[in-house]
A and B are shown apart, each in its own frame.
Chain A
């Protein structure tokens, strides 16, 4: 595993998931994510794992939720249209607290859109696609190697917090090939499946939150006779109409993630020490932005770059700090302007936030972003 290999983002994502213990994949073919399914179909049986191609996208997430409840670490992969179809059951995973990883290799929409051109148009869908209030973890890699690392992290977070985690790939990163050196298996930390803390006789309640606000529901087939439902339920797992339990449950689901927000907020900063301007970027676009920032630096513009790996929960504190430091923040995205709204909210007027959207099937060129940086630097700040 330790020698250099030429591989694709999707391939690294699949390998990362397997390295983190994923031994079940269910899904439905959809470009540009299909390589993940194909790799799983080929590799999992040799590991004693299971692959199944389901009849539709909804079945693709339902089957992995079932497998996760029966003790497997499970992954599904999709793209925009399929991601939309999976939304109801992503919410099911949130409320029933089922560990699950969904890789969404974004493509251009809406609907069938412009298949299968690159886009980052599912940023808000990842956060708010399912109905009702729920927390969300979404991670977006910018390199092939990081696609591996993010997959490992996503599986671990899903297990640790018992919640769906979204890997927000885009077509650029998913299909890009790079030389990578993957970590050795023994260097990969794996979060094990949480186990019940006591027996039925000792009064085990599957949904009693532990100190970290996460419960330990038993895997099916381990003799605990638990009940799992998408209805609001109390600690026993059975539905209740209680307003108090409802309020407490919704609050706990949010707090189990918000209490660790700093820990799970991953980002990089480049050239930020003396920066007067910042480019806030993520995913495939960050590759171009990095080249653009270096070009602008050569012209003497004091511009830095902040690259978010954790998209959700949103890195409010990071943005706040950046906004206090720089005059302007440029947000290039392959969409009509989505994450820029969050940047604006978090910057809270401390820095000007400028959207640089792109939605014409083409990826950014370094020159385009560099030109936008030059404009930032020449315009007078109001």
Chain B
């Protein structure tokens, strides 16, 4: 038995994801981060929304909650506030988090409540067969953007930063080892943490956009993901498809459930 296997419900595997999907790499990174931190399985809850990535909650050996489309963050907020000693990790996808759940995402960040959101970004609605999401890059094809998307994509990291998140990182399925550390740091941060994990969907996104098979898409990540410090040194014309990875932003800010605990103390006559 591999050391991180205790964080999986081995009897629930194999997973339902397509051959070549990157979600397994990201899910394993969460398990390895849990191992690295020695997370207490009895006091950790994994909450997910709806979509391919959100099926991960069922495979992981904690208390787990597979909510409704877009609603993982407010469910997770209820769990954290009801029992602040719990570590709460949210697993969500690009459509789940930034389209139908977009309002909850920005308000979770605004509250800086101690949740760690792992955003599996495959740039597409995979489970429903490849419709455009708010993270589908402009010009890329989807079943609902057959001529290429004319929408401008969100940068979820910038969005979370503007909204008030206190830890923001981006990794990829290719950079699996650093992704473990980025997730572990996110879980350790006492506040709202976002880890955007770029993952490949060869079936519903890569194929339609001639990005090759899974290996080809991972190769694209290896060529275009640039550590933040190096990315910042690039000239604008060198940036092209390139994007920064690593810890993108960190700050210290009051955490919501701790702030509410003060309210309780005050109401009960304490100081």
Residues of A bordering B, CB below 8 Å: 24, 26, 45-46, 48-50, 52, 54-56, 58-59, 62-72, 74, 88-89, 92, 220-231, 238-239
Contacts and interface: CB of A to CB of B under 8 A. Distances in A.
Interface string B51-91: 00000011001111111100100111111011101100000
A66 B77 CA distance: 7
Contacts of B86: 70, 220-221
Given A45-B266, A89-B71, 13 more contacts: A48-B264, A55-B107, A59-B77, A59-B107, A65-B67, A65-B78, A70-B86, A71-B83, A74-B82, A89-B68, A220-B45, A223-B42, A230-B66
A221 B45 contact: yes
Contact of A70 (B61, B64, B79, B267): B79
B36 interface: no
A291 B43 CA distance: 57
Contacts of A67: 78-79, 81-82
B103 A227 contact: no
Given A55-B107, A89-B68, A224 B63 contact: yes
Interface in B256-271: 260, 263-264, 266-268
Given A59-B103, A221-B83, A221-B86, A66 B57 contact: no
B68 A52 contact: no
B111 to A, nearest CB: 9
Contacts of A239: 58
A88 B68 contact: yes
A64 B77 CA distance: 9
Given A45-B266, A45-B267, A59 B64 contact: no
Interface of B: 12, 41-43, 45, 47, 57-58, 61-68, 71, 74-79, 81-83, 85-86, 103-104, 106-107, 260, 263-264, 266-268
Contacts of B267: 45-46
14 contacts: A45-B266, A50-B82, A62-B68, A62-B78, A66-B65, A67-B78, A69-B65, A88-B68, A221-B86, A224-B63, A225-B62, A227-B66, A229-B65, A230-B66
Contacts of B42: 221-223, 225
Given A46-B268, A221-B86, A70 B78 contact: yes
B50 to A, nearest CB: 8
A69 B266 CA distance: 27
- Which of B45, B65, B75, B82 gathers the greatest number of chain A CB atoms within 10 Å? B82
Contact of A230 (B58, B64, B68, B81): B68
Please list the 5 inter-chain residue pairs (A to B) with the smallest Cβ-Cβ separation, ordered nearest first: A66-B78, A45-B267, A62-B74, A70-B82, A67-B78
Contacts of B268: 45-46, 48
Given A55-B107, A62-B78, A67-B79, A227 B58 contact: yes
Contacts, number: 135
Contacts of B41: 225
A230 B82 contact: no
A57 B223 CA distance: 43
Given A45-B263, A50-B81, A221-B86, A59 B66 contact: no
B75 A65 contact: yes
Contacts of B61: 225
B82 A24 contact: yes
Nearest to A41: B263
A296 to B, nearest CB: 49
B121 to A, nearest CB: 22
A64 B81 CA distance: 10
A228 to B, nearest CB: 5
A88 B47 CA distance: 18
Contacts of A221: 42-43, 45, 63, 83, 85-86
Contacts of B83: 70-71, 220-221
A128 B83 CA distance: 33
Contacts of A229: 58, 65-66
Contacts of B65: 66, 69, 220, 227-229
A120 B78 CA distance: 31
A121 B260 CA distance: 37
Contacts of B81: 24, 50, 52, 63, 67
A226 B64 CA distance: 6
Nearest to A64: B78
Nearest to A24: B82
Contact of A72 (B64, B82, B260, B264): B82
B142 to A, nearest CB: 25
B71 A58 contact: yes
B103 A69 contact: no
A230 B264 contact: no
Given A46-B268, A55-B104, A227 B78 contact: no
Nearest to B260: A50
